[in-house]
Structures are given as C-alpha cells and as structure tokens.
Structure 1
Amino acid sequence: MTTTKTPCRSMTEQAADAAIYQACRSLRLPTMRSCFPEHADAAERNQLSYRGFPAELLMAECDDRDARRTVRRIKDAGFPRSKSLADFDYDANPNINPATIHTLSTCCWIRAGQPLCLIGDPGTGKSHLLIGLGTAAAEAGFRVRYTLASKLVNELVEAADDRQLTKTIARYGRVDLLCIDELGYMELDRRGAELLFQVLTEREEKNSVAIASNEAFSGWTKTFTDPRLCAAIVDRLTFDGTILETGTESYRLAHTRNRHTTT
C-alpha cells in the first residue's frame, strides 16, 4: 500500500494571513484572528521559536475566553449594581475586619457549601459586601445568583401556582452561591416562608447561601411568623457558617465624610 504525499504549498504572506483569518473564523478563535498579525510581527522581531509563537497565540485566546466567561458569569448573577471589595471603605465601618473579608474572598466557604450571614442596620455596607463577595465568586469561576428576598418569594409563589415549583427550586439549587438581599424587610406569610425554606433545604450543606438582613436573628419572628419554621430557617442559614455583624452606624454617611475629608 502506498501513500500519497501532499506537496508543500508555498504561500505569499498575504495569502497566509487570509488563510489563517479564515481558519480562525471556522474554528471560532476570534482572539487569535484579531491579534495574529501583531503577534506574528512580534515573534519575528523577538525571534520566537516555532513552538513559542503558537504558544503565545493560544495563551492569548485562552486568556480572552476566561475574561469573557467572567463577564458572562457576573452578568448572569443579576447584581443590581457593580460593587467591588476593593472599594469597600473599612475606615467607614470599623466593625468589618479586612482580614475576614479577605479570607471570604478566597471562596473556601463556597467550596465547602457553607452559609454566610451579614446582619446589621440599613446603610452599614451589607449589600456592598454581599455583591462584592458574589462578584469575587463569579470571578473565581463559581455560578452565582443574586436576588431580593421578596422577589425570590414572589417568584416561588408564581411558580407554585403555575406548577413549575420543582423546576424553579432546582434552578436555584444548581448555582454555587445564592445571594439573598434584604431578608427581614417585609413579613412573609406562611406559604412564602415555606417555599423559601424549600430552596434553603435544597441547598443545605451542598451549595452556599449568603444573606443580608437588617434584623438580628432574634427579630426574625417578624418576618417568619411561625416560630418553628423561623427556627428551622435560622438553623439552615447559620449551621457551620460565618456571621458578620455590620453594626448600627451608617456606612454610607461615614464613607461620604471620609471622602470629603480626603479631598
């Protein structure tokens, strides 16, 4: 049996560039397609080896894909606004230990499926930290979902009425981190509380829940009027978790004062 060798084809640089452009389109390599000419010129100047040049191109493609995935995860999380942990003013709220936030930003608690509770008065930085930690988790590759407690309960009630509850609970159960903001701002009827409890049970010891509440746990009976159900929900949200108390002094007011002082 004989094999036929394909003769080497010589190309002009213009033809080679066109072939590479078309191949990158077919293979869906947009970064390589756009940066190839620049990298080719740099490789020639720096005398990169045949191995070094494609390695540079492939690394650029991988880095860009990672960046696009991160942007997509942050967008899919549904954060109402952009908040970064780097922008948090610890001087404005001395109740928050920077070392604790740094440890949480490593996402070890999410890998372990542990809960996080941010408890404090309105304006003490709870939502900033909740969104900031959620964003850090999305940047680390975790699937994150942010929602207001009232919005989540309303969605669950509508899903139950439409016989889509199992599907909805499963969807909330799949994300690595569920961030629930403004828990405690409104009283929930028994049905709404029970539906929320089902979501928490679905995630228990498997995937993390982070909540922000303006009420201490002792005041949660205002939100969850059934004492036994309230105790069960508190248990789900605190077992083997982290509780951060953000205090009573307005973070926003102190942050504004600090900013005006330094300008």
Structure 2
Amino acid sequence: MKLSSITIVAVVIILMLVGLFFAFRPTTDAPQTKTTAVKITETGMTPNNISYNEGDTALLKFTSSTDAIIHIHGYNVELPVSAEKTSEIELQLTRTGRFEIELHHNDEEHEHKHDHDHTCQAEIPVGAPQPQIEVKAEEAEETGKILISVELRDFEFTPQNGKNPVTTGHWHLFLDDVATGMFTDTEIVIPLDQPGKHRIKASLADTNHCEYGIEDETTILIPGHAPHDTSTTTNKHDNTEHGSSATTHLGFLDVQPRNP
C-alpha cells in the first residue's frame, strides 16, 4: 500500500512537470517576419511554392531573367521585375489560402491599364458616399526603401455586407508617373534608392482596374547626388522587339491558418 501511494504521488508530480513544461515553453507560433528569395525564369520560379502562416510578414525578393510584371492573386499585388536588379515587396499576410502567382510577359496592354487613358470609368454605387484617399511617403527604416501609406475614407477593399452601400476595389500606385502596382494594403514598402525628388501618386480603382477618378499625390526627397535625368525611377519596358504578350503560371503563395 505504501509503494502504491509513492507511485501515485510520483505520477502526479511527473504530470505536473509535463504540464508546466508545455505551459511555459517558448512559443514559435507567434507571427514572424520571414524573407524568401525567389528566382524567376520565363517558365517558372524557384521555389515553386512559398509557404507562410497567417499573420506573418513576408518579405519577398525576386530575381528575374526577364523584364516582366509579377501578379500575386488574392492579395491583388503587382510588382515589376527586371533582369538588372532584385525587386522586393513586403506583404502582411492576413488572408489564408493558396494564391496563384503569375508572370505577365511584355504585357504592354496590362501596363497601360494603369495609365490615365482608361477606356472604362468606375462608378460609385448609388447611395454610397464619395470615397477619399490620402497618400503619404517617407523613408523606411531599411536603406534604399520607402514606406507609402494611404488613408481611405468610405472605401473598402472587400465588401463587408453592411446595410449601407460602399465603394470597393483597390488602389494603384504611380511612381514618377509610371504605374508601379496595385495594392489592397494601407501600408507598403518598396525599393527607391535613386537620389532626388520623386512624385508618389495613388488612385482608387475597382476590381476591373477601372479608376474612379479619385486620387492624391505627394513627393519625397531621397538624399544624395541626383543624376541629370530623374524623370523616372522605374524601367519602362520596350516592347518593340517582342510585340506579343503572354501570361505564365509561376507557382503559389500558401498562407496557412495559424494555430490558436
């Protein structure tokens, strides 16, 4: 009987220790900022699948063998890539699922969808208030990058099924009058290391890339010796040699639900 009592006490102590271990062990499931280097060719990308957890911050660094535009579906983000340099984008991963990543080759028409000579004009829903956008730009903590933030009023990226109608869509970014991408985040970090004064413009658009004619702009001064020609900081692609446009499936961005 005495041995049985000692055994029971020992088992209880062991269970308590095990419980304390799991209760106070350092957790690795907290949101993290992780960097992934991605190599792109005309036929695919390495790695083929990029995996993160919900709540993580993804810093994606793309090196490409060709000049093109990357489109990350689901997050509605576009990023120009060039054979001359590494292109970076930072994403706050708030949406779970598998999202296709495509490469638009020499897509002149795709690029011009962001220009101001649109063939379509977005319409604000009947009864919805007039949306507004305010854009701000400042140097980011990391050298060679800038932080762009937008403040939106009466505009939503995703309909919230509310009683009142609201205008929805995304916003387009223009850097020195060159279309740079489309976004559904209120803060983004993009590379910009060319010294001089640069124009930052943001405009509201619907899901078909038709603009509402509502925009705002600001300027940012990057310290340093500016070259003689600072009219643009983003390469405009010359499509004279390759007139056709095509889209290539590259892979997927997988965002897994985070365990509670």
Q: TM-score, normalised by structure 1?
A: 0.24
Relative to total residues, which structure has the larger strand share, 1 or 2?
A: 2
Relative to total residues, which structure has the larger helix share, 1 or 2?
A: 1
Q: TM-score, normalised by structure 2?
A: 0.24
